Amino acid sequence: MIFSRSSRDLSAASTAQPLDGRYFAAVSELSDYLSEAGLNRARVEVEVEWLIALTDRSLFGASPVSEADKARLRALYTEFGQAEIDWLAKREAITRHDVKAVEYLVRDRLEQLGLGAVAELTHFACTSEDINSTAYALTVKRAVTRVWLPKLQAVTQMLSALAAAHRDAPMLAHTHGQPATPPRWARRSAYSPGGCNGSPGRSKARSTWRSFPAPRAPGARTWPLSRTSTGWP
């Protein structure tokens, strides 16, 4: 069952891992992306954007969704909150399938928005792996670019400032267990910012995307054949 942080009746010592206990204050920003709630929000986003992509192309007799309705659809993930978390928890207790519960959530909201005519295109030609791997890519990339990289850059700037302020301070040194020539503090501390400076560029350049739907998915291979415009006998 999914709980909001405020509703958990757990002490820091009883959580499954220290990141959810004593260290939560240090990593709380990451929970917006890497928690189960963050993953489900990304799953909803993938389902909604895939549905919009299908309707934009008028596939299977579906009419394109208006810009106003697209905005209302996208609000399903931009305004994803405790109500959706609780809804998914209750539905997953029945389906025993997390992605299926997300699909039902999108279908339910489509009916509420008066867009039930396109509800059958929800999750069309997709496997759970299509939704999950794309959602994981979204959450990891956003956690890195929006939380981790800014923190890394702040640490790099702090180390550089310390190196400049204490550049002439001597340090004790050892090599192979023997006393060595004392270096300056600036020289030793410069290694850390130097190593960190290359990480942001590599992290930003790293691709997290994949083909969608996956070519190996049976639906991805066969769904073009089901188009009425194909003219099969």
Mean pLDDT, the chain, integer: 82
Structure confidence by residue, pLDDT tens digits, 28-53: 999 999 999 999 999 999 999 999 99
Q: What is the pTM of this model?
A: 0.77
Closest CA to 100 of 92, 108, 89: 92
Judge whether 156 and 197 are in contact, CB under 8 Å: yes
Is residue 214 within 8 Å of residue 221, measured between CB atoms? no
Q: So what's the pLDDT on residue 2? A: 41
CATH class (in words) of the domain with range 5-124: mainly alpha
Using CB atoms within 10 Å of the CB of residue 158, give its burial: 0 to 12 exposed, 13 to 18 middle, 19+ buried: exposed
Tell me how many degrees the CA angle 170-175-179 measures, rounded to the nearest 5. Answer: 60
Domain locations in the chain as residue ranges: 5-124, 144-205
Q: Which two tokens stand for residue 52?
A: 């919009």
